[in-house]
Structure 1
């Protein structure tokens, strides 16, 4: 199946999330168990942040913090940028490239989180097409 939309991309996927009070060790266990690179951080139903492998490495491990004592809320990226589930893959890629991040929470029409996507989810042909278009427009690309 050729993926044409974020909605199609999310079909069959469940959202993996963590609370702000979980330890980094607990969050890393979830990342490993599910084979993913980022978690949505939820306070009840509300998205309050995102925790990526990069956050763990830079803000916990490299900073000499203990993973079993550090809480997700201490190192997560708060109030992450999101994208609507009806947006295009090209729009999602553009948001990630311009923002310099690799994971993007996906929300529905009322702002509830419904999934998480990664830059790796965007098919290669889409990435190349968007990069060529951005180059033609003089905008920065993922390679820059």
Structure 2
């Protein structure tokens, strides 16, 4: 699993994006619709930043920001750590652990945003491996 390329983990999975002039409330609604805890802030395919549910709580709600009038560009994390789509998934997990964040934008050779990794992706892979192991054990039990 850790050596698996990010490209294989993402498998062309769509990801939520917003423009820098979206309001905080609009971003929260998009996160809700996508069932995602983060959105990438882009201008075309150029990555400008990332905005997460933690940003909503710590940078907006806790400071009583007006959610309908503040643009995401003012509260997003600008120039976030990114990773290339061909790097190993384990490298992304290491960077996320070291940096203390749960999401990482994925870019291609041109620097365009092509995906969004989350710590949950590691859980999904572990879950699939666990399921395979349980099936294998059940098959062994039937044979014995």
Q: Normalised by the size of structure 2, how large is the TM-score? A: 0.81
- Name the structure 2 match of 1:53: 53
Instruction: Tell me the alpha carbon deviations over residues 44-79 of structure 1, each in whole angstroms, 9 at most, x when there is no partner.
Output: 221010000000110000111121111101110000
Shift of 1:115: 0.5
For the 8 Å contact 2:4–2:90, the answer to whether it is kept is no
Q: Which runs of 5+ in 1 are unaligned?
A: 126-144
| Count of aligned positions | 123
- Matched residues in 2 for 1:117 and 1:76: separation? 17
Query: Partners of 2:6 and 2:87 in 1: how far apart?
Result: 7
Deviations 1:84-141 (A, max 9, x none): 011111100011011110000001122111000101102348xxxxxxxxxxxxxxxx
Q: Which runs of 4+ in 1 moved over 6 A?
A: none
Provide the TM-score with structure 1 as the length reference: 0.81
The yes-or-no answer on 1:7 pairing with 2:10 is no
More helix by share: 2
Q: Which residue of 1 aligns with 2:139?
A: none
Unaligned 5+ residue runs, structure 2? 128-144
